Amino acid sequence: MEDKIKVCIILGSVRNNRFGEKPAKWITDEIKNWDGIEAAFVDLKDYPMPLFDSEISPSMLGKKYQNDVVQKWSSKIDWADAFIIVSPEYNHGYSSALKNAMDWLSPEWSRKAVGFVSYGSAGGARNIEQLREVAIELNMVPIRKSIHISWDFIMKAHGNKDIPSAELFAPLRKGMGPDHLADFVNDLIWMARALKTARDKNQ
């Protein structure tokens, strides 16, 4: 039996009353019972790291950090085989909190698969394009597929704050087209398993 692929679903916003909490927790709940996956919801609010100020590049620190919160963040990211980053689009890009969190680490991200879920202007497409460049520089492997959440979902959630997430995002799984979440997750797991096999062989 193959080992489960460990996936961190990272919420890349620390704003109050974040919409992003809805899709991030929805995805976590949806894939927890997926064959071959162990899923963990990761909230940047639980990792209040300082602005990146290390004199030494994280690539040279051997996963040892002076700041306790950064060390905790390192351990969580190191645990994972793959990542789903749920990020808003702010001013044509991603949040400063997310960039800071990514910059603090290096080997913990390396040679692991990542997929992106975004919302906001243009469905977060421009944000995802920028995040792909950052991920590649960190030696991650972004998958082609992504999930773009339109303003319709955001406005519906604001208009009915009690709407269950499964109902709110049902069109992404049961709409006229394909099951976008299944296609996205299956590609992520395929890539994550291939990379994990390669990492294990080269330890």
Predicted confidence (pLDDT) per residue in 101-150, tens digit: 999 999 999 999 999 999 987 888 999 999 999 999 999 999 999 999 99
* pLDDT higher than 80, residue 2: no
CA distance 149 to 172: 9
Structure tokens at 42: 């990761």
Homologous superfamily (CATH) for 5-201: Flavodoxin domain (3.40.50.360)
Q: What is the pTM of this model?
A: 0.94
pLDDT at position 121 is 79
pLDDT at position 178 is 87
* pLDDT higher than 90, residue 202: no
148-160: average pLDDT: 92
pLDDT at position 123 is 84
Across the chain, which distance is largest between two alpha carbons, in Å? 52
Residue whose C-alpha is closest to residue 58's, from 50, 48, 70: 70
For 27-80, the pLDDT digits (tens) are 999 999 899 999 999 999 999 999 999 999 999 999 999 999 999 999 999 999
Half-sphere exposure (Cβ direction) of 163: Cα atoms closer than 13 Å = 18
Q: What is the residue extent of each domain of the chain?
A: 5-201
